[in-house]
Amino acid sequence: MINFSLPDAPSLAPLRKLATERIVILDGAMGTQVQTLGLGEEDFQGDGSYDLKSDLPQKGNNDLLSLTQPKAIEDIHFSFAMAGADIMETNTFSSTTIAQADYGLEHAVHDLNVAGAQVARRAAERAEAEDGRKRYVAGAVGPTNRTASISPDVNDPGYRAVTFNDLRVAYGEQIRGLIAGGADIILIETIFDTLNAKAAIFASFEGFAEAGVRLPVMISGTITDASGRTLSGQTPTAFWHSVMHARPFTVGLNCALGAEAMRPHLAELASVSTSLICAYPNAGLPNAFGQYDETPEQTAAQVGGFAREGLVNVVGGCCGTTPDHIRALADAVAPFAPREVSA
Ligand SMILES: [Zn+2]
C-alpha cells in the first residue's frame, strides 16, 4: 500500500536542508495557551456562524476553536512562531470522528481539520512576513481515546473498543482534511499504542495516494512509565522497528514524564533510528492540580542537554510549555549541531 514513488511535497527539500544546518524548532502546547484565555461555553460555541448541529456542551473541545474562535487560535500559533518555532502543530489533536463523538461533532471532522490547517497557515504567513523566515504547518494527529491492542475490560482481555480498520477510516478522514487545508507535514503524536499509530501511517499513505503527493511524516511515541515502555509495551527500539517502514522524516518522543525522564529513552531511540530525531517533552511532571511547574529556563536546560549530547534534530514542547519555553529552548540548542544521521 505504501507508495514511495509519489512525488515529495514541496516542503520536504527545504525542511531537510534546514535540518542539516541547525536544530529545527517545533512549537509548544496549544492547550496551555487556550487555558489562559478563560473561555466559557458560549465562547466555544461561537457566534453561530458555524452551525454545530450538536446539543452537547462544547467547553473543553479545544479543536472546535479553530472554527468558532479562529483569530484566537491563529494568534497562539503566531506567538509560538515569533518565539522561534519553525514548525507549528495544528489544533487538531482530537479531530477524528472517534474523539469528537464525545461532543456529537463527528460530522464536523473534515471542517475541523481544514480550518485547523488554515489558521496555522495564516499565522505561518504572518510570521514569515514579519521576519522573512519560512514556517511549516504540521497536521497534528492524536492517538484518539481508544486503543486497538489493549482491552479496556480486565475481565475480557480479548475485547477491543476499536479496530485497526475503524482507526484507518477515522484517521483517513482527518488526514484528508489536513491535506485539503494545506498542511506541510503529517505529525502522528503522543503514541501510546503502536497499532493505533500504524493505522494512522496507513491512512496517511492512502491520503497521499489520493492527493498525488507524499508529505513528510513525523512520528512521536510516548513513554508512560519508568520501565521505559509505551503503554502497549514497546521499548524505544521496538517502537522504531514498528514504524520505520514509513520512512518518517522524524521519529521521536513527546509528552509524558518531562525531559529528564525522557533522556535515556531518547538516547536509545537515537542510537537505532535512521530518521531524524524529534523530542518535545512536557514542562516536567504534572503537579497535584494537573499543571506543569517547570520554568522556561528549567525545560530549556534539559532540552539543551539533549542537543549537547548530539541526540536531537528537532525539539519543542508538549503539555505546559508556553512561547517563553520555546524561546528559551531555541536559545539553549542554538550553539549545538544537529544529530548526525547514519543511514
Ligand atoms: Zn503532552
Angle between helix 323-333 and helix 296-308 axes, rounded to 10 deg: 30
Q: 40: part of which helix (H) or strand (E)? A: none
Q: Find the 210 Cα to ligand 1 centroid distance in Å.
A: 31
CA dihedral 224, 225, 226, 227 (to 10 degrees): -100
| Other C-beta atoms lying within 10 Å of the C-beta of residue 289 | 7
How far apart, in whole angstroms, are the C-alpha atoms of residue 47 and residue 277? 42
pLDDT in tens for each of the 343 residues of the chain?
577 889 999 999 999 999 999 999 999 999 999 999 999 999 999 999 999 999 999 999 999 999 999 999 999 999 999 999 999 999 999 999 999 999 999 999 999 999 999 999 999 999 999 999 999 999 999 999 999 998 999 999 999 999 999 999 999 999 999 999 999 999 999 999 999 999 999 999 999 999 999 999 999 999 988 788 888 889 999 999 999 999 999 999 999 888 999 999 999 999 999 999 999 999 998 888 888 999 999 999 999 999 999 999 999 999 999 999 999 999 999 999 999 987 5
Q: Where are the domains of the chain?
A: 12-333
Do the beta carbons of residue 66 and residue 87 sit within 8 Å?
no
Q: How far is the CA of 317 from the centre of ligand 1 (A)?
A: 8
Contact present, 178 and 217 (Cβ < 8 Å): no
Does 318 count as an annotated binding residue? yes
* 12-333: CATH superfamily: Homocysteine-binding-like domain (3.20.20.330)
CA 115–ligand 1 middle distance (angstroms): 22
CA 281 to centroid of ligand 1, rounded, Å: 7
31 alpha carbon – ligand 1 mean position (Å): 9
What are the residues whose beta carbons fall under 8 Å from the beta carbon of 139, sequence distance 6 or more?
Answer: 90, 92, 113, 116, 117, 174, 175, 178, 179, 181, 183, 185, 186, 187
Q: What does the H/E/C string look like for 48-93?
A: CCCCCCCCCCCCCCHHHHHHHCHHHHHHHHHHHHHCCCCEEECCCC
Distance 334 CA to ligand 1 centre (A): 23
What is the pTM assigned to this prediction?
A: 0.97
Closest CA to 26 of 315, 310, 343, 328: 315
Q: Which ranges in the chain belong to alpha helices (H)?
A: 12-21, 30-37, 41-45, 65-68, 70-82, 97-100, 109-131, 164-180, 194-211, 236-243, 259-272, 296-308, 323-333
d(CA 61, ligand 1 centre) in Å = 16
The rounded Å distance from CA 35 to ligand 1 centre is 14
Q: How far is the CA of 147 from the centre of ligand 1 (A)?
A: 18
Residue 23 per-residue DSSP state:
-
| Sign of the dihedral through C-alpha 127, 128, 132, 137 | positive
d(CA 318, ligand 1 centre) in Å: 4
Q: How far is the centre of ligand 1, averaged over its atoms, from the C-alpha of 143 (Å)?
A: 12
Q: First vs last Cα of the chain: how many Å apart?
A: 24
Angle at 302 between CA 297 and CA 305, to 5 degrees: 125
- Residue appearing with cell numbers 502546547: 29
Which of 45, 66, 47 lies closest to 56, judged by CA?
A: 45
278 is known to lie in a ligand binding site: no
Q: How far is the CA of 7 from the centre of ligand 1 (A)?
A: 33
Contact of 194 with 232, CB cutoff 8 Å: yes
Distance CA 79, CA 64 (A): 20
271 Cα–ligand 1 center, Å? 24
